[in-house]
Amino acid sequence: MKFFLLLFVSLGSIVQVVAQRACGTGAYWQTLLKQDPEMRARYTRIEGAADELLPVSKKSQETGIAEAPVITIPVVIHVLYQTAEQNISDGRIQSQLKILNDDFRKRNSDTSLIPAAFASLSADCGIQFELAKQDPEGRPTTGIIRKRTDQVSWQQDDKMKFSASGGNDAWDSRYYLNIWVCNLNRSLLGYATFPGAAPEKDGVVIRTDVFGISGSQSSSYSRGRTTTHEVGHWLNLKHLWGDADCGDDGVEDTPPQKTFNSGCPSFPHVSPNSCNPLPSGDMFMNFMDFSDDACLHMFTFGQRQRIQQLFLPAGPRASFLQSAALDEPWNFTDVPVNENNAARSLLNVFPNPASEQITLRSADRHILKEGAYSIYDFTGRLVISGFVTDSRYIRIHRLKSGIYLIRIQSSSNSLSAKFIKE
């Protein structure tokens, strides 16, 4: 593996002034490392583990891809808007999720544009993304939070991540990828944390007009690749030039690169005063460069290996493998209902408390005779499930004493209520 600078923001590093893709992650992360010694120590350990990754052959990498299960990351989108235009549609959000999944799974149609010299290095990273189904309290969610704010624009200072400063607090970043979409300063497209960040700040920030498939307002960045790039940082991928003059990104199969590329270079592209000895030149089509969206097409096997290492036992993102965010929600007690369906959304349990069996009644006191039911304990663990039949009651005699939540799903409705088992 290429020599990796353990702390890429050490005093000897040369930090590039980002002027093209306007990714603020390098300077942002440097500032955090200087301000927070504990975070710097965490990041040092994470990078120490990444530095121990060994180069492997393409054949063994492909075998590993075939055998390794795909990792699904639960996502929550915090949409912060001041104007109606900034309150982007669900469709726009879904378009961005599709772009992320296509890019990280090597399903993007423009892989055909990868030059032959690099095509064999293009990899499926084995990572996909899905909007959360339950919030941290177990309540149902679409995975999209919309909040109107008086803030005209946002800076690279994390204020959008806190409700107290007009933004929105992160959901538990051990189990959710938090993405804040807001009207960032026009000189900035986005920025992200690397693994090891403070939990309340961990996540990705994207400027509203470059999130998802957008119009011609930002034509160079209208295909959602800014989010792919920033999520790459969240998954511990660095810029190809290591944020230094001919720096190191910690990946064995990305060629050395003097600095970032911009626009849509022609292949082969060799930077002036290049440190790359290969005739193929820079891998300007890699998602971690600064080329325009239309010219970004690939991650490499080495980048995939660096990502997958995060999810090994005791890895900095391993907690996502235990996330319940994509499970069916269990807490329906605090979910608001519309005025039109408030009455029929109520469920009564009789008797309550109960010791042997319970009967379910709707708000108009009709006994419910059909539907699938699920009973959860106070931790959200499913303890009993079945179907209501003509017997009309549900046996609970084997439950331990305590508070439970029952949910019943019929062909036309979903109802829930708490009850006490004596």
Q: Which residues are catalytic?
A: 230
For 96, 152, 360, 370, 386, the CA distances from 414, given in Å and listed in that order, are 30, 40, 13, 12, 15
Q: Quick one: which of 343, 342, 353, 349 has its CA closest to 393?
A: 349
Residues 275/40, Cβ–Cβ less than 8 Å: no
Residue 205 near residue 167 (C-beta atoms within 8 A): no
Separation between Cα atoms, residue 381 and residue 133, nearest integer Å: 16
CB within 8 Å of 27: residues ≥ 6 apart: 15, 18, 156
Asked if the peptide bond before residue 351 counts as cis, ω within 30 degrees of 0, the response is: yes
Q: Which residues contact 74 (CB under 8 A, 6 or more apart)?
A: 130, 131, 132, 133, 143, 175, 176, 177, 320, 323, 325, 326
Could you tell me if 375 and 368 are in contact, meaning their C-beta atoms sit under 8 angstroms apart? no
